[in-house]
Chains A and B, each alone.
Chain A
Amino acid sequence: NAGVTQTPKFRVLKTGQSMTLLCAQDMNHEYMYWYRQDPGMGLRLIHYSVGEGTTAKGEVPDGYNVSRLKKQNFLLGLESAAPSQTSVYFCASSLDRGRREAFFGQGTRLTVV
């Protein structure tokens, strides 16, 4: 019963460094999402994917890239980290857009100094 797994759980980056956040789900879900959560801002959609090999922009995509080479994995990349990207990042998945429930990973707390 792994569900949605995010790695790493914590990370500190220096400005300008790059990193990749990994999201893996074992529920054979088609839809996957990346959100960032900042105090008072709720969950803001960065990028999402409706299936293997597809990605699309959400509300706040600038500074991030994503890839969905395999159905179970959704990668979020930061090419040149900035302090404004300090946040908690959540990955989520759902079976398809008609399904009611999205399942979330436990989050990645990223600090950019």
Chain B
Amino acid sequence: GQSLEQPSEVTAVEGAIVQINCTYQTSGFYGLSWYQQHDGGAPTFLSYNALDGLEETGRFSSFLSRSDSYGYLLLQELQMKDSASYFCAVRDPRDDRGSTLGRLYFGRGTQLTVWP
């Protein structure tokens, strides 16, 4: 089976830093991704970690610890436009029969609200 856990909502003020955590349990693992979704829009890719450590992309950073089955998304210098839902996602290279098919699973999402 597979599950991804992340907080349902987070609030912060403009200019602040916020961290969104994700823990996962999958039968296989092929990388942790983060997606952003504004209300009424499509999810868009933010970052990806295949190996342990921190990946930085502008104001956003993502961290992975495979031994802890844990990752987080760090958003710095928050802006109003960052108010959105954030999803962690994992690629599981194996299905229940053990064949190598790459399913992409998502967590339930974290609603981030940035206040002025």
**Which stretch in A16-24, A69-77, A78-86, A104-112 binds the other chain?**
A104-112
> In the bound complex, do residue B101 and residue A41 qualify as a contact, i.e. CB atoms below 8 Å apart?
no
Query: Is B105 an interface residue, CB under 8 A from the partner?
Result: yes
Interface string of A37-52 (1 = CB under 8 A from B): 0001111110010100
A31 to B104, CA, bound (A): 10
What distance in Å separates the Cβ of B104 from its nearest Cβ neighbour in chain A?
A: 6
Give the interface size class of chain A. Answer: 20 to 34
Residues 42 to 91 of chain B near chain A (Cβ within 8 Å): 42-45, 48, 50, 87, 89, 91
Pick from A40, A97, A105: contact of B93, CB below 8 A: A97
A27 within 8 A of partner (CB)? no
In the complex, which range does the number of interface residues on chain B fall in?
A: 20 to 34
Inter-chain contacts of B105 with A (CB < 8 A)? 45, 59
Q: Most chain-B Cβ atoms within 10 A of its Cβ — which of A42, A58, A98? A: A42
User: Which residue of chain B has the shortest Cβ distance to A91 in the bound complex?
Assistant: B42
Q: Are B48 and A43 in contact (CB under 8 A)?
A: no
A101 within 8 A of B: yes
A39 → chain B, closest Cβ, in Å? 10
Decide: B109 and A42 in contact? CB cutoff 8 A.
Answer: yes
Interfacial chain B residues near A44, Cβ < 8 Å = 106
B8 in contact with A104 (CB, 8 Å): no
Closest A-chain residue to B97, C-beta based? A56
Contact A97 B44 (CB under 8 A): no
Tell me which residues across on chain B come within 8 A of A31, comparing CB atoms. 102, 104
